Amino acid sequence: MQRSDYLIRKLFFAVATLLAVIVFNFFLFRILPGDPVKLIVHSPRMTTESQERIRVNFGLDKPVWFNEEGYQEAGLKGAFDTQFTAYIRNLLKGDLGISFSTRKDVTELLKERVWRTVVLVVLGEFLAIFLGIALGMIAAWRRGTSLDTGILLYGLFTWAMPTFFFGIILLMISGGRFPIGGMVTPGLKPEDGLAYWKDVGWHLILPTLTLTILYLSEYMLIMRSSVVEVLSEDFILTAKAKGMNAFQIFRDHALKNAMLPMVTIIALTLGYTVGGAIQVETVFSWPGIGRLMFDAVQKRDYPVLQGTFLLLAVSVIIANLVADLLYATLDPRVKPD
């Protein structure tokens, strides 16, 4: 099989997964018990007409997936006058529906929130990747020494630490020296230029620190074990026999090979970037996608949940695809069969 076939096959699987997610995402929120209109109608005194109008506005007046009445009246065309076809039609137009609580377009809500999450998570991930790789290399290079043991212990300790717990501890010991929550001091806007970004940076410190400290352990442990594994390979012995010094071996042979699993793990983790670090965003009240999801769960705002789920699924599918493709490019052993 050719490389192009491999590409097509991977693309095909990605698209198939996406379609499955889209369908699943629709039915997931419809199989839940209860009438969604009850979630929008907050007062027992609201008239039946008002309730009906809300039902129509949110497209909840139609059957979920098969319109029997419509089928008898207008055949197949009427049969598909349903919530499901409306959902697919709107999705193709980039319309993810209207939030039950804010009545805003879910697409707009996601657009407002996504960059805030990306700023936080990318910064945290970047620092974690950089420090994780560095510490992992040092540990592998000094394998078996007390330094290695120390790094390993540190990695296991921070890896085992629950995110929200660590975040709360940071909040408590910071005692007000850093902002308790939010992204910016009320009143500052992007138009204020440097002052705004300085303030955002100030608000970023605690959540980024939490993300970095907790995420770096995963990179560090994987980096360490893959370097250790590579260092025990025969070609390293050959390199030694050729007279290369330890640094050269490490740089030219061990590192390059050890980076393979790292690429996969980085690509996969970045897939979760837009999903946000729900716990970190919640602990530090960071107004990103994760917070949006947390609030939507609390308010049972199903259209928003549906939108965030879809966004998360799409980014994970894309990241997986990128990882597959990168892997095939980087590692000649990954040959399509």
Nearest-10 Cα torsion for 211, 217, 219, 220? 140
Work out the angle between the directed axes of helices 194-231 and 255-271 (0-180°, nearest 10).
130
Contacts of 56 (CB under 8 A, 6+ apart): none
* Amino acid in position 47: T
Question: Is 59 an interacting residue with respect to other proteins (CB under 8 A)?
Answer: no
Question: Which residue among 4, 76, 160, 176 contacts other proteins (CB under 8 A)?
Answer: 176
As measured in angstroms, the least distance from the Cβ of 118 to other proteins is 16
Query: Tell me, what amino acid is at 273?
Result: T
In whole angstroms, the minimum distance from the beta carbon of 101 to other proteins comes to 5
State which of positions 269-308 bind other proteins (CB under 8 A).
281-285, 287, 291-292, 294-295, 300
Q: Which of residues 13-42 bind other proteins (CB under 8 A)?
A: 32-34, 38, 42
In this structure, the number of other CB atoms found within 10 A of the CB of residue 42 comes to 8
Residue 142 interacts with other proteins (CB under 8 A): yes or no: yes
Considering only residues 3, 9, 198, 335, which one is a binding residue for other proteins as defined by CB under 8 A? 198
246 scored as a contact of other proteins (CB under 8 A): no
CB of 166 to other proteins, least distance (A): 10
State the nearest-atom distance from the C-beta of 280 to other proteins, in Å: 10
Examine residue 199 and tell whether it contacts other proteins (CB under 8 A). yes
Smallest gap from Cβ 231 to other proteins, in A, equals 18
Q: Is 138 exposed, middle or buried (0-12, 13-18, 19+ CB in 10 A)?
A: middle
Centroid of chain to Cα 294: 14
Torsion of CA 261, 267, 268, 272, to 10 degrees: 150
* Residue nearer to other proteins on the CB measure, 40 or 270: 40
Residues 6 or more apart whose CB falls under 8 angstroms from that of 146 comprise: none
For position 90 contacting other proteins by CB under 8 A, the verdict is: no
CB of 5 to other proteins, least distance (A): 46
Compute the distance between CA of residue 89 and CA of residue 201 in angstroms, rounded to an integer.
41
Residue type at 170?
L
Minimum CB distance to other proteins smaller for 42 or for 333 = 42
- Residue that has been written with the tokens 């999705």 in this structure: 91
| 186 sits near other proteins (criterion: CB under 8 A) | yes
Scan residues 105-134 and list those touching other proteins (CB under 8 A): 109, 112-113
Q: Which of 103, 111, 251, 335 binds other proteins (CB under 8 A)?
A: 103
Nearest-5° Cα angle at 259, 254 to 264: 155
- Which whole-number Å values give the CA distances from 297 to 29, 95, 290, 305, 309, in the listed order? 12, 20, 11, 7, 12
Tell me the site size for other proteins, rule CB under 8 A.
70
Q: Is 174 in the site for other proteins (CB under 8 A)?
A: yes
Q: 196 near 184, Cβ under 8 Å?
A: yes
Q: Which stretch binds other proteins (CB under 8 A): 4-12, 73-81, 87-95, 165-173?
A: 165-173
Q: Which residues contact 142 (CB under 8 A, 6 or more apart)?
A: 148
Instruction: Pick the closest to residue 281 from 198, 200, 188, 210 (CA basis).
Output: 210
- In the bound state with other proteins, the residue whose beta carbon lies nearer, of 79 and 292, is 292
* Shortest distance (Å) from residue 230 CB to other proteins: 22
Residues that bind other proteins (CB under 8 A): 32-34, 38, 42-51, 53-54, 57, 101-104, 109, 112-113, 135, 138, 142, 145-147, 150-151, 154, 158, 168, 170-187, 198-199, 202, 206, 209, 213, 281-285, 287, 291-292, 294-295, 300
